[in-house]
């Protein structure tokens, strides 16, 4: 299981990477993609959608499970990874790189304070097993 | 004891083997005293097959069951059921098997469901069909629920007055917890829905517009006009067309040709008996883009590990057993066996057989209508074209209806049964009726 | 067993010269329709023997009750008596129209009234509605009735308590009725603890949806107290009757405090599953809920059975006409066949058969709860995990032994669950055969795990690619494209 440093994590297994320019990228973690199994479908929001911390921004579906996607941050959606609509299994093979889901312009940095770093997330995941 | 092979000694020895001295002990150790039923059930003792055959034959004989002299319709129809439909569907491999969750040992069921989906898709000319729903009325309710999922903020449903009143009642019962408003659109003298009034009633709050064709009064609606009204609208409401008499699909241009969003209804006409109203077969078809919003089961074609074509239930993640409270609906079943009968029926009739049967329905209905209008004080209620059902107006309907019954004919359904005009009678003819049957009908309603 | 070969589609053998039906010549003057369908119908054009061969061959690919045991927990796959089908095929029932005058349908109405009486007696809930077409449909109807009752009393409320062991239809139904699902954990012994329910029940909760016995195969020992807690806060108790086969004649839900329940006639009452329906899910309620039942009601008035639409507080209708009549008829035949002695004995044998399996497999598979069970028992793959074998693989390996797998991965509270319900119609020798197969598989799992992991080996199709089916769904036959 791989949890890169430099990313922040949620209890619902999303990750976010915050850039200097107030933009953040969001996706799901290695643990999430492994639990789901091969992903067959994903639903992502429209550009411009306003997100609150922990509001749902989409759905990811495998043959045995469906998961809502919860936003780790508050802001507006600026980019959506449309490649995932044709190749949803990219999320499985590259959850942190090519499997990125949305880019968000942060409204504030408040929500980031509640997120976990890589070490804390790893501990959290180990505790679940 | 019937159907219980482990009885008497076998039962007793098994009981001891698992460590219990008596059946009472087996239960009383698990059911606490306050929850135990201590009395005797107020039911008769078990009966033999011979006794039951007598009892039920007696009850069956108390029902009027002569399709040649029965002219009732309104969502349930008497049609020819080829002998091989009963024969093939009665195989235990089809009748007693479970839902095809384990694809490897259910390919038979999965294949026939796939055929059902294919046939319904073609007949309605819609891109995707599901594996069937309970019946036409609940299929319609599901259509409204699906429109609500797509437009969660909207609350108005425009529904034709000529849509089956029981379908409408079921849809309202199934959706009123969402606070939906059902606005009725009136019909014209032709019996068709007033589409101009529908157009005026449309607003940003409309989530669906619903028509039935042929409608409850038997009149064929103008679907091309409907699509013209909806086309220029930005984010239009979903168009829902209900088909209660599936046989009509053989004769009329299907709703799919008019860009309709959802076509749903009943396929009992294909291979299933009226059976005092159930079980039926609801069908549901829609556009490919809505496939993940579609309720019910679907079977998909795929390959197995050796590259052989195989079939399985798919898109199951929308269903209740996985999605639970976020499911698209709470449906756990289709009407598998009844849908199988429809499938075998359609395979047997083929395109030519189905069209021929539909043509006979049409000719029979128009012959009967013409002859009935020749009788004093009977006239056609609506001017619009009809398929195999039509409404006639008789000034003293009650008397004439009773006369017909006395002559051993059920001439149709008085619309007063559905809270409508007490002088109107809905008459249905199918390919089962001969010229003699129709002449008898006309004669029975004479003065 | 017939030689199983691949079976193509009817489209592959169609020919415009072929016809499988002959209709009588039209007897009235032909009337040309004013409109005409131009799009192809897309149906195959074949001969009668083609249809017979096709569907007969396809049927050979199906496992079914007449072939062997279905150990499916919570499904009650019992034998489907043939007399039921014979009676459902009588002309006087199948050729009766629901909207013909009631006086001409006395026999049909009597069937419905009689079934209502018998189900009321079995459940202890006197008022029955036969309209719902399936269990989930019955749940929906029952929860709508609850909602209507609470609304009439001033507040429909917002939440519904649902145990973690509940069937997926329960939370789906609640959500559909606009109730927020509040999950209730099961206690350490597998059944609900009163304190857990008390903590969660309040005046903003409509009630609880329980299954009794629950999906761990255990009777809810605290049910009487749980019902009291719910009632004390003005809520109602819904009972999912999927497991009713365990308690007929031994416990009446109406007497322990249940206000409304549904029954699955295709489970407990032997009507055929048909590969996924039709079923029937009638509901039974107590007096306070009666006014809200769907219309039309079927009532006895002066020894006559009548249809009544006079129910101002009714929730409406949940289906056209009166319900799945031909299914209801089969259930009536069954209930009269069994009678008061037979039904109680059925529950006794169902519970004994399940305990027999539990007793013989408890040293081979991990048993998470209890030493005894009601009509079903739940094992897990914990022991087999040690050599890397999982529940799904054990299930598939069972197919090689000629059995349909049990219910797997449900209930969700037990990881790797295998829920086994043999029902009372299984003879001891079939149970022994099943037990031997399960024992062999557990040994295989230890000694040659790869054999189990790569199963099934002997079935017609193997390893169906469900992933591709979900990614790019193909839902109709591409060979006949009428678009």
Domain boundaries, chain A: 10-108
C-alpha span between B244 and B281 (Å, rounded): 11
Chain A residues closer than 8 Å to C471 by CB: 40-41, 88
- C-alpha distance from residue A122 to each of A2, A17, A30 (Å): 9, 17, 11
Domains along the sequence of chain C with CATH: 8-20+40-59 (no CATH), 82-337 (3.40.640.10), 340-469 (3.90.1150.10)
**CB–CB of A41 and C471 under 8 A?**
yes
Does residue B429 sit within a domain? yes
pLDDT of residue C172: 87
* Averaged pLDDT score across all residues of chain A: 91
8 Å CB contact between B415 and B164: no
C-alpha span between C224 and B208 (Å, rounded): 46
**Is B170 found in the same domain as B91?**
yes
Whether the CB of C467 is below 8 Å from some CB of chain A: the reply is: yes
* Residue among C171, C392, C410, C471 with most chain A CBs within 10 A, to mutate: C471
**CB–CB of A41 and C470 under 8 A?**
yes
Closest in B30, B75, B431 to C372, CB measured: B30
**Is B254 found in the same domain as B379?**
no
Any residues with CB less than 8 A from the CB of C154 and at least 6 apart, and which? none
pLDDT of residue C354: 98
C-alpha span between C353 and C48 (Å, rounded): 44
Any residues with CB less than 8 A from the CB of B240 and at least 6 apart, and which? B140, B143, B144, B147, B208, B209, B210, B211, B260, B261, B262, B263, B264
Scanning C324-369, the segments in alpha helix (DSSP H) are 325-361
pLDDT of residue B420: 84
Whether the CB of C465 is below 8 Å from some CB of chain A: the reply is: no
C-alpha span between C395 and C375 (Å, rounded): 20
Does residue B224 sit within a domain? yes
pLDDT tens digits along B273-317: 999 998 999 999 999 999 988 988 899 999 998 888 999 999 876
And the tokens for C355?
């305990």
Q: Which residue in this structure is represented by tokens 């022994």?
A: C432
**Is B94 found in the same domain as B77?**
no
Whether the CB of B292 is below 8 Å from some CB of chain A: the reply is: yes
Q: What is the pTM of this model?
A: 0.94
Percentage of chain B exceeding pLDDT 90: 89
Domain of B177, in residue numbers: 83-345
And the tokens for C237?
């108790």
Does residue B18 sit within a domain? no
- Closest chain A CA to residue C471: A40
Does residue B36 sit within a domain? no
| Sheet containing A56-62, strands listed edge to edge, beginning at the edge strand earlier in sequence | A39-43, A56-62, A66-70
**Is B434 found in the same domain as B311?**
no
Coil vs helix vs strand at C255: helix
**CB–CB of C356 and B66 under 8 A?**
no
Q: Is B265's pLDDT higher than 70?
A: yes
pLDDT of residue B181: 96
Closest in B78, B315, B324 to C473, CB measured: B315
Chain A residues closer than 8 Å to B316 by CB: 63
**Is B88 found in the same domain as B77?**
no
Q: Is A66's pLDDT higher than 80?
A: no
pLDDT of residue C460: 83
**Is B177 found in the same domain as B222?**
yes
* Averaged pLDDT score across all residues of chain C: 95
Does residue B21 sit within a domain? no
- Closest chain A CA to residue B315: A63
And the tokens for A55?
């509001």
DSSP E strand boundaries for A1-129: 8-9, 14-18, 23-28, 39-43, 50-51, 56-62, 66-70, 75-80, 102-106
pLDDT tens digits along B210-240: 999 999 999 999 999 999 999 999 999 999 9
Does residue B240 sit within a domain? yes
**Is B169 found in the same domain as B77?**
no
> How many CA atoms are closer than 13 Å to the CA of B42, on its beta-carbon side?
10
Chain C residues closer than 8 Å to B434 by CB: 24, 27
Whether the CB of C471 is below 8 Å from some CB of chain A: the reply is: yes
Q: Over the Cα atoms of chain A, what is R_g? A: 13
pLDDT tens digits along A98-125: 999 999 999 988 888 889 999 999 999 8
**Is B387 found in the same domain as B299?**
no
Q: Which of B324, B345, B366 is the last residue of a domain?
A: B345
And the tokens for C436?
């031997």
Whether the CB of B318 is below 8 Å from some CB of chain A: the reply is: yes
Q: Which of B295, B315, B345 is the last residue of a domain?
A: B345
| Phi then psi dihedrals of residue C101, to 5 deg | -55, 140
C-alpha span between A17 and A3 (Å, rounded): 12
The residue ranges of chain C whose pLDDT is under 70 are 1-4
pLDDT of residue C1: 44
More confident residue, A68 or B223: B223
Closest in B63, B95, B164 to C92, CB measured: B63
- Closest chain A CA to residue C472: A40
- Domain tally, chain B: 2
**Is B249 found in the same domain as B162?**
yes
C-alpha span between C94 and B278 (Å, rounded): 9
Closest in B74, B132, B434 to C99, CB measured: B74
- Closest chain C CA to residue B126: C483
Does residue B19 sit within a domain? no
Q: Chain C: give the shortest CA distance to residue A86, in Å.
A: 9
**Is B432 found in the same domain as B316?**
no
Q: Is B320's pLDDT higher than 80?
A: no
* Residue among A66, A67, A69, A85 with most chain B CBs within 10 A, to mutate: A66
Q: Which residue in this structure is represented by tokens 């490649």?
A: A83
Q: Which of B345, B380, B415 is the last residue of a domain?
A: B345
ipTM of the complex: 0.96
pLDDT tens digits along B92-151: 999 999 999 999 999 999 999 999 999 999 999 999 999 999 999 999 999 999 999 899
pLDDT tens digits along C59-94: 999 999 999 999 999 999 999 999 999 999 999 999
**Is B161 found in the same domain as B148?**
yes
pLDDT of residue C370: 80
Domain A10-108 has CATH 3.30.360.10: no
pLDDT of residue B327: 58
CATH code assigned at B411: 3.90.1150.10
Pairs across A and C, CB distance < 8 A: 14
**Is B379 found in the same domain as B291?**
no
- C-alpha distance from residue C181 to each of B145, C164, C170, C172, C208 (Å): 20, 11, 9, 9, 10
Chain A residues closer than 8 Å to C467 by CB: 38, 40, 62-63
pLDDT of residue B262: 98
- Closest chain A CA to residue B313: A63
- Closest chain B CA to residue C426: B5
Report the length, in residues, of chain A: 129
- C-alpha distance from residue B383 to each of B191, B192, B216, B391, B425 (Å): 7, 9, 14, 10, 15
CATH code assigned at B168: 3.40.640.10
Q: Which residues of B14-46 are buried (b: 16+ CB within 10 A; e: fewer)?
A: bbeebebeebeebbeebbbeebbbeeebebeeb
């Amino acid at each position: 299981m791989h949890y890169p440093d430099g990313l922040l994590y949620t209890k619902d297994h999303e990750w976010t990477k915050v850039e200097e320019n107030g933009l953040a990228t969001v996706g799901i973690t290695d643990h999430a993609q492994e639990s789901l199994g091969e992903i067959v479908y994903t639903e992502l929001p429209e550009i411009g959608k306003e997100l609150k911390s922990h509001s749902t921004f989409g759905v990811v579906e495998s043959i045995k499970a469906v998961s809502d996607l919860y936003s780790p941050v508050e802001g507006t959606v600026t980019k959506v990874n449309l490649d995932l609509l044709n190749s949803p299994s990219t999320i499985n093979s590259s959850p942190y790189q090519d499997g990125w889901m949305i880019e968000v312009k942060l409204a504030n940095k408040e929500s980031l304070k509640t997120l976990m770093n890589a070490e804390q997330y790893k501990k959290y995941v180990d505790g679940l097993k | 004891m019937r159907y219980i092979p482990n009885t008497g000694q076998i039962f007793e020895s098994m009981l001891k083997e698992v460590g219990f001295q008596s059946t009472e002990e087996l239960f009383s150790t698990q059911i606490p005293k306050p929850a135990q039923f201590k009395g005797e059930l107020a039911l008769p003792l078990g009966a033999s097959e011979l006794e039951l055959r007598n009892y039920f034959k007696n009850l069956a004989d108390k029902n009027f069951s002569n399709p040649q002299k029965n002219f009732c319709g309104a969502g349930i129809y008497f049609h020819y059921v080829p002998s091989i439909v009963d024969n093939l569907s009665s195989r235990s491999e089809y009748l007693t098997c479970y839902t095809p969750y384990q694809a490897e040992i259910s390919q038979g069921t999965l294949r026939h469901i796939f055929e059902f989906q294919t046939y319904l898709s073609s007949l309605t000319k819609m891109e995707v069909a599901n594996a069937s729903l309970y019946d036409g009325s609940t299929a319609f309710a599901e259509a409204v629920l699906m429109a609500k999922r797509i437009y969660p903020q909207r609350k108005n449903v425009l529904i034709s007055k000529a849509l089956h009143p029981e379908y409408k009642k079921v849809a309202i019962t199934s959706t009123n917890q969402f606070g939906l408003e059902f606005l009725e659109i009136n019909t014209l003298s032709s019996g068709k829905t007033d589409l101009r009034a529908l157009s005026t009633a449309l607003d940003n709050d409309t989530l669906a517009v619903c028509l039935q064709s042929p409608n409850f009064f038997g009149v064929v609606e103008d679907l091309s006009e409907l699509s013209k009204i909806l086309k220029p609208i930005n984010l239009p409401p979903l168009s829902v067309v209900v088909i209660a008499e599936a046989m009509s699909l053989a004769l009329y241009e299907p709703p799919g040709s008019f860009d309709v969003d959802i076509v749903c209804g009943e396929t009992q006409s294909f291979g299933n008996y009226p059976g005092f109203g159930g079980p039926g077969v609801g069908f549901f078809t829609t556009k490919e883009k809505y496939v993940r919003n579609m309720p019910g089961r679907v079977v998909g074609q795929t390959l197995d590990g050796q590259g052989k074509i195989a079939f399985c239930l798919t898109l199951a993640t929308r269903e209740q057993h996985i999605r639970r409270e976020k499911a698209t609906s709470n449906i756990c079943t289709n009407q598998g066996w009844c849908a199988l009968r429809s499938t075998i029926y359609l395979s047997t009739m083929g395109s030519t057989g189905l069209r021929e049967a539909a043509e006979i329905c049409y000719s029979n209905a128009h012959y009967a209508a013409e002859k009935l209008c020749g009788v004093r004080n009977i006239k056609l209620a609506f001017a619009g074209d009809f398929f195999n059902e039509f409404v006639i107006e008789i000034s003293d309907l009650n008397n004439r209806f009773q006369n017909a019954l006395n002559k051993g004919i059920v001439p149709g359904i008085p619309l007063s049964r559905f809270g409508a005009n007490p002088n109107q009678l809905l008459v249905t003819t199918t390919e089962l009726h001969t010229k003699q049957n129709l002449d008898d009908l006309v004669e029975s309603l004479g003065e | 067993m017939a030689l199983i070969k691949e079976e193509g589609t009817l489209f592959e053998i169609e020919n415009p010269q072929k016809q499988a039906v002959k209709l009588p010549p039209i007897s009235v003057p032909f009337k040309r329709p004013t409109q005409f369908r131009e799009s192809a119908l897309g149906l195959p054009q074949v001969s009668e023997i083609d249809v017979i061969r096709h569907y007969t061959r396809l049927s050979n690919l199906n496992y079914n009750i007449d072939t062997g045991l279905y150990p499916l927990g919570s499904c009650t796959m019992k034998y489907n008596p043939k007399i039921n089908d014979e009676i459902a095929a009588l002309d006087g029932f199948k050729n009766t129209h629901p909207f013909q005058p009631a006086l001409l349908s006395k026999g049909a109405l009597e069937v419905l009234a009689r079934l209502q009486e018998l189900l009321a007696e079995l459940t202890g809930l006197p008022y029955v509605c036969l309209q719902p077409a399936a269990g989930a449909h019955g749940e929906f109807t029952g929860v709508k009735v609850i909602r209507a009752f609470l609304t009439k009393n001033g507040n429909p409320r917002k939440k519904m308590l649902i145990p973690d062991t509940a069937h997926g239809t329960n939370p789906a139904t609640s959500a559909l009725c606009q109730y927020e699902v509040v999950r209730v954990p099961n206690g350490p012994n597998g059944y609900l603890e009163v304190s857990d329910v008390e903590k969660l029940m309040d005046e903003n909760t409509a009630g609880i949806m329980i299954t009794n016995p629950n999906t761990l195969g255990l009777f809810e020992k605290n049910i009487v107290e749980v019902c009291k807690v719910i009632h004390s806060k003005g809520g109602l108790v819904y009972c999912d009757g999927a497991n009713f086969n365990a308690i007929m004649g031994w416990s009446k839900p109406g007497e322990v405090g249940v206000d409304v329940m549904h029954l699955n006639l295709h489970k407990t009452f032997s009507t055929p599953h048909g590969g996924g329906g039709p079923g029937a899910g009638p509901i039974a309620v107590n007096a306070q809920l009666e006014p809200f039942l769907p219309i039309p009601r079927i009532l006895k008035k002066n020894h006559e059975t009548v249809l009544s639409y006079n129910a101002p507080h009714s929730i409406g209708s949940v289906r056209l006409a009166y319900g799945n009549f031909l299914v209801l008829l089969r259930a009536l035949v069954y209930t009269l066949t069994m009678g008061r002695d037979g039904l109680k004995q059925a529950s006794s044998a169902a519970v004994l058969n399940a305990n027999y399996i539990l007793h013989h497999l408890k040293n081979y598979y991990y048993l998470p709860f209890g030493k005894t069970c009601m009509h079903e028992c739940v094992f897990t793959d914990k022991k087999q995990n040690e050599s890397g074998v999982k529940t799904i693989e054990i299930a598939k390996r069972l197919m090689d032994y000629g059995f349909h797998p049990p219910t797997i991965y449900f209930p969700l509270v037990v990881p790797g669950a295998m829920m086994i319900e043999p029902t009372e119609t299984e003879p001891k020798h079939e149970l022994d055969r099943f037990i031997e197969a399960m024992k062999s598989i557990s040994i295989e799992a230890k000694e040659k795990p790869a054999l189990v992991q790569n199963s099934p080996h002997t079935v017609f199709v193997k390893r169906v690619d469900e992933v591709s089916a979900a990614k790019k769904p193909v839902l109709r036959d591409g060979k006949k494209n009428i678009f």
